[in-house]
Chain A
């Protein structure tokens, strides 16, 4: 199965306490090949990195809740 692509995204510099230690991070909606979309926190963002719509997200594995984790 192909990796999903970024349908849209934002780089966050402000958030709520549970996510403060991850700042800055990328919130994104990813789109699978079949058109289904889902929300994701994209790992691996460093200041100055280019992020764009249409870019592929890399599958990293599953978290403890069985959620898929993706990175830039």
Chain B
């Protein structure tokens, strides 16, 4: 297997842009990534695009050729990947394995989602297609409800961490206030987060991630090519894991940890030959604040039941011992479903290159991304090293 690196990154600002077209977002993020890489776009051999809800929200399918047309990439093969909120990471995994295997030397991976032109109720309905529609959605389950049910069970099995959940939101908003691409670049107080109106108890407004329009693209190449170009610090993919689980919440063995995440983490750590303590910083899937606390435990940054302690101690802050979601995360940078996994990698590469401006971490040599799909039924975890 060949070593693979990221040679180009590009993203749109995340936010509510009901008038922006899918084409327009692909053009901006894709062009930025190609320009950032310094390669001629004629050397791109394939495209992998993550998108979750194009058909239901925009009436648009077959989005691979849309990318090759918009970016003028000619007759190269394109694939669209769908794995709910992990759709973008699946595109990344496909691009990664294609270059690792020797099939291609340079590929473009991207993600795009257009959501805010639709009413919130319609978006909620579109999102429930990522759970089991016949068994769960027909009972009125929503995604906030599924993660709220995990939170109540977590409170029952361990302890009530509502305050630490709110602290995750405060941290996300603080980091987003330093990120020019963030949807909600505004600090919030703990009191405000705790006083917000309920969505699905115990989750209230500030426990939930955002509905976002946006796109993010990356150019992947063999590390050999990356070292020759050397336009930026070379960012090598040193570990990548992908695991799944049952789609329904009720059929999972445990709902206070995610077996897909634990398995994907194990694969990525083993490949990278690293331990959780070796990771300098991480971008994790905080679709809801309780998820962030469970993720901390699944990734081995804390023992089961103690994830909230790391949050309470300030450990996840930019200046903490394990900075998490320096970008602002899904909570405050935004959650453009099919682009989210790539937007996480965009942040890790930005940090590893030392280009994160006011939110730049002091130590950024090894970063991790953690992206979940649906009710934690798909998980992709990647580890990156700056060479």
Contact = CB atoms under 8 A, between A and B. Distances in A.
Interface of A: 7-20, 22, 25, 27-29, 37-41, 53
Interface stretch (B30-38, B142-150, B330-338, B356-364): B142-150
A25 B142 CA distance: 12
B124 A14 contact: yes
Contact of A29 (B140, B202, B250): B250
B128 interface: yes
A16 B139 contact: no
B200 A20 contact: no
B247 to A, nearest CB: 12
Contact of B136 (A12, A25, A39): A39
A46 to B, nearest CB: 14
Nearest to B149: A8
A20 to B, nearest CB: 7
Majority secondary structure, A binding face: strand
Nearest to B251: A37
A20 B140 CA distance: 9
A9 B151 CA distance: 9
B121 A10 contact: no
Given A8-B150, A8-B153, A25-B140, 13 more contacts: A10-B202, A14-B200, A15-B121, A15-B145, A16-B125, A17-B125, A18-B125, A27-B200, A29-B250, A39-B136, A39-B141, A39-B250, A41-B139
A13 B124 CA distance: 13
B249 A39 contact: yes
B160 interface: no
B142 A9 contact: no
B200 A19 contact: no
A19 B201 contact: no
B199 interface: yes
A15 B139 contact: no
Contacts of B145: 10, 12, 15, 27
30 contacts: A7-B250, A8-B153, A9-B149, A9-B152, A10-B151, A10-B152, A10-B200, A10-B201, A11-B200, A12-B145, A13-B201, A14-B200, A15-B142, A16-B121, A16-B125, A16-B128, A17-B125, A18-B140, A20-B121, A25-B140, A27-B142, A29-B149, A29-B249, A29-B250, A39-B135, A39-B136, A39-B139, A39-B248, A41-B139, A53-B152
Contacts of B264: none
B320 to A, nearest CB: 30
Contacts of B21: none
Interface string B205-242: 00000000000000000000000000000000000000
Interface string B116-147: 00000110110010000001100111101100
B189 interface: no
Contacts of A38: 250
A53 B152 CA distance: 8
Contacts of A27: 139-142, 145, 148-149, 200
B296 interface: no
Contacts of A11: 198, 200-201
Nearest to B124: A16
Contacts of A12: 140, 142, 144-145, 199-200
B148 A10 contact: yes
Contacts of B140: 12, 15, 18-19, 22, 25, 27, 41
Contact of A13 (B139, B197, B249): B197
- Shortest 3 CB-CB distances between A and B: which pairs? A10-B148, A16-B125, A8-B153
A37 B200 contact: no
B6 interface: no
Contacts of A25: 140
B142 A53 contact: no
Contact of A14 (B141, B142, B152): B142
Given A7-B153, A19-B140, A27-B139, A14 B251 contact: no
Contacts of A17: 121-122, 125
Contact of B156 (A10, A41, A53): A53
Nearest to A40: B139
A29 B152 CA distance: 11
A28 B145 CA distance: 9
A8 B255 contact: yes
